[in-house]
Structure 1
Amino acid sequence: MSTTQSERLRGLLEPLVSAADLDLEEIELSRAGRRRVLRVVVDSEEGVDLDACAELSRVISDELDETDAMGEGEYQLEVTSPGAERPLKEHRHYVRAKGRLARFQLHEGGELVARILDLDDDGLDLEVPGVKGRKPTARRIAFEEIAKARVEIEFSRKDKKEEEA
């Protein structure tokens, strides 16, 4: 998608997403056969449910129909959340992932899987799980050390409510 079209779509969609108390995370325009697919990824502090995606999809669809932002031709609109293994790109993503296990690819090379305990403007305080019965260790990494980061799915993760009880 061209920068101009991307900026135009972002300018058109951001107020609609904000009005629904959501954050616009990503806009992706791709091809699926003859048709184009516009994928709009949204999120919030509390997450996004299916009803919110459906309602926002109707609002965005109406707006796109009233403008020529998508040009001529067919397109499919998808409004979705980042998913369970969401990428961590902005500070607010790390805030939302506090307490979660994440996989970090580091600029210096190597990979790290650790739980996000706390964060500030400069970096993260992590708990690296112990291996083979060893105790977990604390580690601090700066944001500039991180090449990529993604939340890890935990099937045996205790719910926060259980931990607080």
Structure 2
Amino acid sequence: MVAPAHADRVRHVVEPAVVGQGLVLEDVTVRRAGARSVVEVVLDVTEDDDGGLDLDRVADATRAVSDALDAADVITGEYTLDVMSPGVDRPLTERRHFTRAVGHLLTVTLADGRTLAGRLTEVDRTGPDDAIVVVPVTPGRKGRKPVVGEPVRVPLSDVRRGRVEVDLSGIGPVDDDEADGAAAGEES
């Protein structure tokens, strides 16, 4: 493992290049892989960016980061540069993470230890404390529809951690009449 100070120097060099691309630098790690170093740069879009982090934007950012690293010469010897997005399993820790997750199912752990699972419908920035609005969803049992609760407003200061849940509910066609008929056939 390469010293954290080395990653800090790399971060200092690549952050202006990333910001110049209109992106946010999430993380930088530098590690050894045999005789060479591997520099991993994790990027994200800004909170109010309507676009996503598509392959073209990653490619442009990769060129900018590579140019910055080459110009500053902060990596000794050969290195491999990996530029990536945070991925679906990244923890939600900042308001911009929640803003990008609006519309998705998520689970949040609150400061008091309780958990709340549901669909994130809004990030409220209008009050004195930023908050998220979650519509609780309890999965239905054996072919039944999920139970949807009333929206819950949670100040971001009360959120210890959060994560987006992979939502497969919309995959594939579902015919409600067939589902009801199958359920009725099972009950008779």
The TM tier, using the shorter chain, reads: 0.7 to 0.9
Residues 58 and 131 of structure 1, relative CA distance in 2, 3 Å threshold: closer
Distance (Å, rounded) in 2 between the aligned partners of 1:136 and 1:130: 8
Residues 27 and 140 of structure 1, relative CA distance in 2, 3 Å threshold: same
Once the two structures are TM-superposed, the CA of residue 58 in structure 1 deviates from its matched residue by: 2.2
Aligned to 1:112: 116
Residues 142 and 68 of structure 1, relative CA distance in 2, 3 Å threshold: same
- Structure 2 residue runs without a partner (length 5+): 172-188
Give the length in aligned residue pairs.
Answer: 157
The correspondence of residues 26-65 of structure 1 with structure 2, limited to 5 A, is: 26-44=27-45, 45=49, 46-65=51-70
State yes or no: 1:87 paired with 2:87.
no
TM-score, structure 2 length as denominator? Answer: 0.71
Once the two structures are TM-superposed, the CA of residue 113 in structure 1 deviates from its matched residue by: 1.8
Once the two structures are TM-superposed, the CA of residue 102 in structure 1 deviates from its matched residue by: 1.3
Aligned to 2:131: 123
Aligned to 2:12: 11
Once the two structures are TM-superposed, the CA of residue 131 in structure 1 deviates from its matched residue by: 4.0
Once the two structures are TM-superposed, the CA of residue 29 in structure 1 deviates from its matched residue by: 2.0
Aligned to 2:168: 155
- Higher CA-based Rg: 2
Aligned to 2:183: none
- Structure 1 residue runs without a partner (length 5+): 159-165
Once the two structures are TM-superposed, the CA of residue 147 in structure 1 deviates from its matched residue by: 2.0
The correspondence of residues 70-85 of structure 1 with structure 2, limited to 5 A, is: 70=75, 72-85=76-89
Residues 6 and 129 of structure 1, relative CA distance in 2, 3 Å threshold: same
Identity percentage over the alignment?
A: 36
Distance (Å, rounded) in 1 between the aligned partners of 2:38 and 2:170: 35
Given that 1:130 and 1:137 are in contact with CA atoms closer than 8 Å, whether structure 2 keeps it comes out as: no
Structure 1 counterpart of 2:158, from 145, 148, 159? 145
Given that 1:114 and 1:126 are in contact with CA atoms closer than 8 Å, whether structure 2 keeps it comes out as: yes
Residues 122 and 5 of structure 1, relative CA distance in 2, 3 Å threshold: same
The DSSP-based 3-state class of the residue aligned with 2:133 is strand
TM-score, structure 1 length as denominator? Answer: 0.79
Paired residue type of 1:54: A
